[in-house]
């Protein structure tokens, strides 16, 4: 065996052990604990889906040449109740910062602000 193979095997085994430890109950991960608090993965996914599904009505700018908005990429930051979305209509691309309010009980989302970056 080459000298580089052993560290690679150790890293791979370590990653597998970490994954097994985090997923020890066999259920999908619902949250990740970090120093600042807990990121709720369900909230992140729910907000992302809401913005993707409703970008045509959320966007404050208008598409051009008969196009309609669709999301290219989105980052949601649950600890800050905010996100960044890049969207386009096939002709022009826009990006905006947004803030939201998420009700964990009802899963209701309200977009509080949607500011297009110039």
The domains of the chain are located at 5-116
C-alpha distance from residue 1 to each of 8, 9, 12, 15, 16 (Å): 12, 11, 16, 21, 22
Return per-residue pLDDT of the chain as tens, 118 residues: 556 677 667 777 776 666 666 655 555 555 555 544 456 888 999 999 999 999 999 998 899 998 999 999 999 999 899 999 999 999 999 999 999 999 988 988 999 999 888 7
Question: CA 98 to CA 38: how far, in whole Å?
Answer: 20
pLDDT at residue 41, as a whole number: 87
Burial of 83 (0-12, 13-18, 19+ CB in 10 A): buried
Does pTM top 0.85 for this prediction? no
Whole-angstrom Cα Rg for the chain: 20
Residue 36: predicted pLDDT: 46
What distance in Å separates the CA atoms of residue 117 and residue 73, rounded to the nearest whole number? 15
The whole-number pLDDT of residue 84 equals 95
């Amino acid at each position: 065996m080459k000298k580089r193979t052993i560290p690679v095997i150790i890293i791979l085994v370590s990653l597998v052990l970490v994954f097994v430890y985090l997923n020890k109950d066999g259920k999908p991960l619902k949250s990740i604990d970090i120093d600042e608090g807990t990121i709720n993965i369900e909230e992140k996914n729910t907000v992302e889906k809401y913005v993707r599904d409703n970008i045509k009505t959320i966007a404050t700018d208008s598409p051009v040449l008969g196009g309609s908005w669709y999301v290219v990429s989105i980052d949601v930051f649950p600890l800050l109740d905010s996100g960044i979305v890049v969207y386009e209509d096939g002709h022009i691309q826009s990006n905006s910062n947004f803030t939201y309010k998420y009700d964990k009980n009802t899963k209701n989302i309200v977009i509080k602000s949607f500011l297009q970056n110039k």
